């Protein structure tokens, strides 16, 4: 059976402030997607959350970029926004950057990751959801899953994976993409995705010799940058990713392993700071301290004839307790820097925050140093 897995997220109102999703918004989304299922638009669905982001997980047989599915998601967010406004939730509808649906949800604010595939004998997937960060936060974990044998031993002992994987990397500022093969182009790949504010991994594909067809993506990441759509800072992008597992692909344990290291990501308070990302279970996904730490949850599903079996709350396991403690320790260290770099983002990355408005107030007071020196009395 050929199945499409679509994950679309949006912040349509925080409870309270930027911390959580109100239960009434989840209830509204469930009713909306259930109606879509009864109409035959969806095969199955799950409504989740991480931080203040409402997460729609949907299966169907209509392929990626399906207008019907995307419009259903948009209408779901619009209905939830109406409730958020009634409750006076913070930032009600903030991720909905268009007045009306125009055929595809991409470029309208909500983040979207999709995979279409022929279901295998067993089709396990992990859906990762992040809050208070940007799409580049997935670069390191996806690299480690599909290109680092110190993380994924299957790359050297599984004959299906020995030829490596192909990475689709996007330049999100120039709206360009490049395909790079691992392992032979590994250094070029790292040269790009190490600059995570500009280059992001969009998809990963298997290569010749794998059980999975080369044309079927095995991982997908939402790469929507809200400030590039809105022209100003309206909130962090809070990306999602879908990763298929096992049978020629990284095992579930290899897919989860990168999150044992709480790497530094951009986000946190006002989207203007670097800090650690903390793997948590759904119940601990509310952000608090300085709008952080940035959270990531991992939900495991089995896809069975288009149905979602699950989820299993994978990153809530005690195996990640040390990573959580390390994230908290790193957070203490970074916070001591206050408004100084490297805790605060670089000037270039602050361009789409409220920082330029502050600079506008004092810009006219700058004087050329040469002029000042000449005017000094002898």
Residues annotated as catalytic are 11, 233, 236
Letter string b/e over residues 221-247, b meaning 16 or more CB atoms within 10 A of that residue's CB:
bbbbbbbebeeebbbbbbbbbbbbbbb
CA atoms within 13 A on the CB side of 301: 25
Written as one string, the DSSP assignment of 159-195 is: TTTTT-EEEEEEETTTTEEEEEEETTTHHHHHHHHTS
Q: Which residues pair with 67 in a beta bridge?
A: none
**326, 263 in Cβ contact below 8 A?**
no
For residues 82 and 179, give the distance between their C-alpha atoms in angstroms, rounded to a whole number: 41
Neighbours of 139 (CB within 10 A): 24
Q: How do beta strands 111-118 and 2-10 pair? A: antiparallel
């Amino acid at each position: 059976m050929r199945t499409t897995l679509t994950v679309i997220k949006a912040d349509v109102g925080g409870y309270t402030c930027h911390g959580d999703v109100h239960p009434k918004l989840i209830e509204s989304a469930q009713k909306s997607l259930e109606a879509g299922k009864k109409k035959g638009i969806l095969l199955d669905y799950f409504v989740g959350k991480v931080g203040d982001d409402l997460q729609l997980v949907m299966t169907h047989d209509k392929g990626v970029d399906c207008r019907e599915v995307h419009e259903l998601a948009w209408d779901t967010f619009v209905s939830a926004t109406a409730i958020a406004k009634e409750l006076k939730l913070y930032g009600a509808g903030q991720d909905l950057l268009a007045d009306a649906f125009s055929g595809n949800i991409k470029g309208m604010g909500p983040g979207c990751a999709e995979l279409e595939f022929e279901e295998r004998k067993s089709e396990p997937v992990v859906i990762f959801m992040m809050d208070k960060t940007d799409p580049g936060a997935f670069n390191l974990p996806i690299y480690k899953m599909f290109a680092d044998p110190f993380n994924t031993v299957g790359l050297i002992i599984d004959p299906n994976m020995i030829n490596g994987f192909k990475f689709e990397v996007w330049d999100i500022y120039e709206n360009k993409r490049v395909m790079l093969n691992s392992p032979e182009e590994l250094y070029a790949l790292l040269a790009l995705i190490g600059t995570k504010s500009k280059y992001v991994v969009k998809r990963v594909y298997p290569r010749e010799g794998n059980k999975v067809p080369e044309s079927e993506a095995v991982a997908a990441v939402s790469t929507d940058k809200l400030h590039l759509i809105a022209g100003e800072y309206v909130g962090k992008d809070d990306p999602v990713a879908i990763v298929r597992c096992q049978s020629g692909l990284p095992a579930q344990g290899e897919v989860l392993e990168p999150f044992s290291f709480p790497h530094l990501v951009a986000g946190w308070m006002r989207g203007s700071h670097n800090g650690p990302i903390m793997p948590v279970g759904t119940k601990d996904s509310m952000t608090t301290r300085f709008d952080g730490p940035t959270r990531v949850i991992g939900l495991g599903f089995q896809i069975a004839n288009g149905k979602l079996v699950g989820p299993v709350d994978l990153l809530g396991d005690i195996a990640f307790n040390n990573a959580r403690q390390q994230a908290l320790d790193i957070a203490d260290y970074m916070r001591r820097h206050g408004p100084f770099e490297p805790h605060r983002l670089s000037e270039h990355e602050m361009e789409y925050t409220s920082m330029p408005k502050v600079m506008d107030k004092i810009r006219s007071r700058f004087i050329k140093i040469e002029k000042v020196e000449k005017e000094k009395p002898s």
